[in-house]
Amino acid sequence: MINQTKALKLVHIYLTICDRFKKDLKYTCERFSNNDKPDLTDEEIMTIYLFAIEEEQRFTVKQIHKFAGTLS
């Protein structure tokens, strides 16, 4: 689990991404999948990726995936 300071940063990153996604990114970022009910939204995936790189210093996909598993 993460501490409260990091949790607040995670929420801030998520809200920023959601805002940007609604304004700009939904037109340029598109998930190319036939899955119409994904477990995670595009915004959540971007949040986990950016948070793992910035706060947790995890740079490989394997490290990020392992970190994301600890959040649930």
User: What is residue 25's predicted lDDT score, i.e. its pLDDT?
Assistant: 79
9 pLDDT higher than 70: yes
- Mean pLDDT of the region 50-56: 86
Nearest CA-CA partner of 71 in 18, 54, 49, 17: 49
Q: Which helix (H) or strand (E) holds 44?
A: helix 42-54
- Mean pLDDT of the region 40-64: 86
pTM reported for the whole predicted model: 0.74
Query: What single-letter amino acid sits at 7?
Result: A
User: What is residue 38's predicted lDDT score, i.e. its pLDDT?
Assistant: 79
19-37: pLDDT as tens digits = 998 888 777 776 677 777 7
